[in-house]
Amino acid sequence: MIDAMSRQGAGNVAVELMRADGAALPAFEAGAHVDVHLPGGLIRQYSIASPPADRSRYVLCVRREPASRGGSASVHERLRVGQALTISTPRNLFALMPGGHHVLVAGGIGITPLLAMAHQLLAGGASFELHYYVRSRQEIAFLRQLQGELGDRVHLHSAEEGRDARQVLPGALDGAGNDHQLYLCGPAAFMDHITAAAQARGWDASRIHSEAFAPVVPVPSADAAAQDAAFEVQLASSGQVYCVPADRTIAQVLGEAGVPLSLSCEMGICGACLTDVVEGMPDHRDSVQSETEKAGNRQITVCCSRSRSPRLTLAL
């Protein structure tokens, strides 16, 4: 249930979840997320920001997306303290790696998994630094924690003060040791920029980690790039809408929601999962449909393809 909600900088709301009976929640590692079943039937993935050592609660933090009619609006408008919420057990696609020094770089609300990482690294006595890029100081989430216990390891960069990521890069990107690890979370363009900068400075890709980049499905097509964005899938039959985050496939999201799907190869080569598209523009990632079929946009392989439109309505 929701034990507390608090404003965390302009536009963000933190939600503290506890078990109704006060018992400990399942353990999680820094970087993990939970699926939250929101009022209205939406399911969204949110990273846990609170320290993994504290199993009495999970703290999530959600930014109000002005364009959204979905998850973030539901969190901001419909969640109330005391309300019961169904969530999944935590899953981690963004785990900390062994390393001599950890550079955490957050853009905006991307702070949430990195904050948990900072807590875990601090508790473990590891060497780390946290860079937090915001548009203005008013937007900073979890300011008290950042100023308090994490203290001098935190570097705040505000665009208003001329310190956006294009102008100021974390100094730690230069002269990185071979066992240094870099963790990124934030808007895709932001992560692209930092990744490119790090690679230009000799970081190899295996030491650069970001949740959105996690290759969940081996995607054969060459254009399957890092630009993956979240989108919504709607079922034509029930009208239910689900969010497909950058790091998960339509099939995974629908499968977990109990929507019956037909799957076989799960890599876009067999066509078992081809599903009729009612509305929206698929981003075809399969190699089973011909170019003509793809151009027709009548069917989509839900095991690996994504969407070019904000929402896809499928004949399910």
Partner 1 sequence: MSAVPHPANPHSPLPPGSTFTPGDWQLLARQWHPVANASKITGAPSKATLLDEALVVYRVKGEVVVARDVCPHRGVPLSMGSHDEEGVVCPYHGLRFGAGGRCNRIPSSPNQAIPAKLNLATYPAVERYGLVWVCLAPDADSPAPLPVMPHWDDAGFQQINCPGFDINGFAGRQVEGFLDVAHFAWIHTDTFADPDNQLVPDYTTVETEHGFRADYISSVSNYSEGFRHLAPADFAWLRRFETHLPFTASLTIHFPGEQRLVILNCASPVSARKTRLFVPIARNFNLEQPVEEVHAFNLCIFEEDRAMVELQRPERLPLDMALEAHIPADRSSIAYRRGLKKMGFGEFFLV
For residues 279-308, which are near ligand FES according to CB under 6 A? 286, 288, 301, 303
Rule CB under 6 A: choose which of 111, 172, 273, 316 binds ligand FES.
273
The number of beta carbons lying within 10 Å of the beta carbon of residue 131 is 24
What are the two backbone dihedrals, phi and then psi, of residue 74, each rounded to the nearest 5 degrees? -60, -40
Measured between alpha carbons, how far is 74 from 306 in angstroms, rounded to an integer?
A: 24
Q: Residue 290: name its binding partner from ligand FES, partner 1, none (Cβ under 5 to 8 Å by kind).
A: partner 1
In sequence order, the 6+-apart residues with CB closer than 8 A to the CB of 65 are 72, 73
Q: Residue 286: name its binding partner from ligand FES, partner 1, none (Cβ under 5 to 8 Å by kind).
A: ligand FES
Rule CB under 6 A: choose which of 2, 217, 272, 281 binds ligand FES.
272
Q: Residue 301: name its binding partner from partner 1, ligand FES, none (Cβ under 5 to 8 Å by kind).
A: ligand FES
* Closest to partner 1 by CB, 206 or 290: 290
* In the complex, minimum distance from the CB of residue 302 to ligand FES, in angstroms, rounded to a whole number: 7
* CA neighbor of 63 nearest in space, from 130, 115, 111, 132: 111
What is the sign of the dihedral through the CA atoms of 144, 150, 151 and 156?
negative
* CA neighbor of 165 nearest in space, from 212, 130, 131: 131
* In the complex, minimum distance from the CB of residue 217 to ligand FES, in angstroms, rounded to a whole number: 9
What are the residues binding partner 1 (CB under 8 A)? 220, 262-265, 267, 269-273, 287-288, 290
What are the structure tokens assigned to 231, written together? 């989108």
* Closest to ligand FES by CB, 72 or 249: 249
* Closest to partner 1 by CB, 105 or 259: 259
* CA neighbor of 271 nearest in space, from 293, 241, 246: 293
271 binds ligand FES (CB under 6 A): yes
* Closest to ligand FES by CB, 257 or 269: 269
Which secondary-structure segment (H or E) carries 188?
helix 188-200
* Binding piece for ligand FES, criterion CB under 6 A, among 60-68, 91-99, 158-166, 260-268: 260-268
* In the complex, minimum distance from the CB of residue 252 to partner 1, in angstroms, rounded to a whole number: 16
254 binds ligand FES (CB under 6 A): no
What are the structure tokens assigned to 12, written together? 């963000």
Q: By Cβ distance, which residue is nearest to ligand FES?
A: 303
CA 196 vs CA 87, 163, 189, 290, 310: distances in Å: 35, 18, 10, 33, 27
Measured between alpha carbons, how far is 277 from 49 in angstroms, rounded to an integer?
A: 37
Q: Residue 287: name its binding partner from ligand FES, partner 1, none (Cβ under 5 to 8 Å by kind).
A: partner 1
* CA neighbor of 153 nearest in space, from 108, 203, 208, 103: 103
Rule CB under 6 A: choose which of 264, 279, 295, 308 binds ligand FES.
264
Q: Residue 268: name its binding partner from partner 1, ligand FES, none (Cβ under 5 to 8 Å by kind).
A: ligand FES
* In the complex, minimum distance from the CB of residue 255 to partner 1, in angstroms, rounded to a whole number: 13
Which secondary-structure segment (H or E) carries 22?
none
Measured between alpha carbons, how far is 35 from 123 in angstroms, rounded to an integer?
A: 26
Give me the residues that bind ligand FES (CB under 6 A), please. 263-266, 268-273, 286, 288, 301, 303
